[in-house]
C-alpha cells in the first residue's frame, strides 16, 4: 500500500473533522427554542471556528438564528466583516491598545481591561467622532 499523503510531519495518525452544516443549523434552531425571545445568542467562532472555517460557520450560524459572534482578536472580526457579516461582533479577550481604532472603525466591540484601553477609546473618539463599542469588566 502506497502512502499518498504529502506531509513534512512524520505521524501515524490521520485525523479529520467533517462539519455537517445542516446539523449545525438544526442544532442552533433547537437551542434557540429554549432561549427566551428577548435574549440574544452569541456564536463563538474564534480561532477560525476552532479550525473549521469561521466565515462558512458564521454564515450558517447567522442564517440559523445566531445574533452575534465572539472572536479572539480584531483580525478575526475583520475576517467576518470582509465577507459582509454585519452582525455584532465581540472580541472575547483583551486587545492591544493599538487595535482600538481598527475595532472601532469596523464596528467590532471589545472589553475594557485597564486605563490604557480607556485612553485609547478617548483618543479614537476624539480623532474619528466614532464611539467605540465596549464591554466593561
pLDDT of 77 strictly over 90: yes
Asked whether the beta carbons of 78 and 102 are under 8 A apart, the reply is yes
* C-alpha cell, 26: 438544526
pLDDT band at 5 (very low <50, low <70, confident <90, very high): very low
User: What's the pLDDT score for residue 44?
Assistant: 96
Q: What is the pLDDT of residues 31-75, one digit of tens each?
A: 999 999 999 999 999 998 888 889 999 999 999 999 999 999 999
Percentage of the chain lying above the pLDDT 90 cut: 78
Burial 50-72 (b: 16+ CB within 10 A, else e): eeeebbbbbbbbbebebeebbbb
Q: What is the pLDDT of residues 123-132, one digit of tens each?
A: 999 999 999 9
User: What's the pLDDT score for residue 7?
Assistant: 43
pLDDT of 17 strictly over 80: no
Asked whether the beta carbons of 69 and 80 are under 8 A apart, the reply is yes
Average pLDDT, the chain: 90
Q: Compute how many other C-beta atoms are within 10 angstroms of the C-beta atom of residue 128.
A: 12
Query: What is the value of pTM for the model shown?
Result: 0.85
Q: Can you give the residue ranges of every domain in the chain?
A: 18-74, 93-137
pLDDT band at 8 (very low <50, low <70, confident <90, very high): low
**Torsion of Cα atoms, 86 then 23 then 74 then 110, to 10°:** 80
Amino acid at each position: 500500500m502506497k502512502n499518498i499523503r504529502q506531509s513534512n510531519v512524520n505521524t501515524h495518525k490521520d485525523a479529520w473533522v467533517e462539519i455537517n452544516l445542516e446539523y449545525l443549523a438544526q442544532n442552533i434552531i433547537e437551542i434557540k427554542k429554549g432561549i427566551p425571545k428577548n435574549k440574544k445568542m452569541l456564536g463563538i467562532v474564534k480561532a477560525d471556528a476552532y479550525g473549521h472555517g469561521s466565515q462558512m460557520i458564521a454564515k450558517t450560524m447567522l442564517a440559523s438564528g445566531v445574533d452575534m459572534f465572539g472572536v479572539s482578536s480584531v483580525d478575526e472580526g475583520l475576517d467576518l466583516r470582509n465577507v459582509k457579516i454585519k452582525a455584532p461582533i465581540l472580541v472575547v479577550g483583551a486587545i492591544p491598545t493599538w487595535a482600538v481604532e481598527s475595532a472601532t472603525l469596523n464596528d467590532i466591540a471589545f472589553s475594557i481591561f485597564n486605563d490604557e484601553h480607556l485612553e485609547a477609546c478617548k483618543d479614537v473618539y476624539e480623532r474619528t467622532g466614532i464611539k467605540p463599542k465596549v464591554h466593561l469588566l
